[in-house]
Amino acid sequence: MVTAKRKFCADQSGATMVEMAVAMPLLLTLLLGFVDFGYLFYQWNAGNKAVQTGARLAQVSTPIAIGLPSEGKTPANSLDVGNAVPAGTYDYVCTASTAGVACCSIGGGTCQPANADQTSFDAIYNGSGGRAGMVSLLPTLQKSEVRIEYAASGLGYWTRPSGPVPTVTVSITNHPFQFFFLGGLLGFGNITMPSMLSTVTGEDMKSTYP
């Protein structure tokens, strides 16, 4: 009886299978983690390219903020004609609802669809005239995650024929990273991409997209 117990305790049959069963979940988690985090960095880079593209489109095309083209054209004091438009004179922030309806707030006020040009917002988001839009570079991007701001830069002058010269800031906010494996396995599905932005100085704002 004692001999049989000793043989059983010394038996190595199946040890490799047990070791594999213990190690395999860890190895698979590491492997899938490398895949997911590689895709995470791809999304990070795509997000940066998306805001750069959005800023360039916003820089040279019709402003989303409907009232912006008139800014810098009629100073309150007629003696200011030809003088620089001071920084902080205007500030428009344009976003979209979860349904994709664009709106703009003026000076921190309520975001109103009446203040926004939906076509201009869609052109920056989707692209236009053969140009790629933001969603072309980051396919998981939602309209509600795009924020476009037009703020007085201190450049340009009152009654400038081509309109104001705003600082244009395009940013992505509250965009979640997409995980193929770790989202459900380890609960990584709720990790939000840090806000990213691109800022440029507006050029001649056109009524058509180049």
125: which residues sit within 8 A by CB, 6+ positions away? 54, 96, 133, 134, 135, 141, 143, 146
Instruction: Give which of 188, 190, 176 is closest to 36, Cα–Cα.
Output: 188
Average of per-residue pLDDT across 149-175: 90
CA 146/CA 163 separation, integer angstroms: 24
At residue 10, does pLDDT exceed 90? no
Give a yes or no: residue 36 inside a domain.
yes
At residue 76, does pLDDT exceed 70? yes
Of 30-34, 176-180, 195-199, minimum mean pLDDT range? 30-34
Instruction: Give which of 69, 73, 151 is closest to 105, Cα–Cα.
Output: 151
What is the per-residue pLDDT for 210?
39
Average of per-residue pLDDT across 87-112: 95
Give a yes or no: residue 33 inside a domain.
yes
Instruction: Please work out, in degrees rounded to the nearest 5, the angle formed at the alpha carbon of residue 102 by the alpha carbons of 101 and 106.
Output: 140
User: Residues 41-70, buried b or exposed e (16+ Cβ, 10 A)?
Assistant: eebeebbbbbbbbbbbbbbbbbbbbbebee
Give a yes or no: residue 210 inside a domain.
no
Strands 91-96 and 196-201, sheet pairing: unpaired
Give a yes or no: residue 88 inside a domain.
yes
Task: Tell me which residue range forms the domain holding 135.
Answer: 2-201
What is the per-residue pLDDT for 189?
67
Give a yes or no: residue 92 inside a domain.
yes
Give a yes or no: residue 207 inside a domain.
no
- pTM, two decimals, is 0.81
CA 98/CA 52 separation, integer angstroms: 23
Average of per-residue pLDDT across 110-124: 96
Q: Phi and psi dihedrals of 165, rounded to 5?
A: -120, 85
Instruction: Give which of 21, 37, 42 is closest to 182, Cα–Cα.
Output: 37
At residue 96, does pLDDT exceed 80? yes
106: which residues sit within 8 A by CB, 6+ positions away? 65, 67, 90, 91, 92, 115
CB 30 within 8 A of CB 186: no
CA 154/CA 170 separation, integer angstroms: 19
Based on the structure, what is the number of domains in the chain? 1
Name the 3-class secondary structure at 30. Answer: helix
Give a yes or no: residue 209 inside a domain.
no
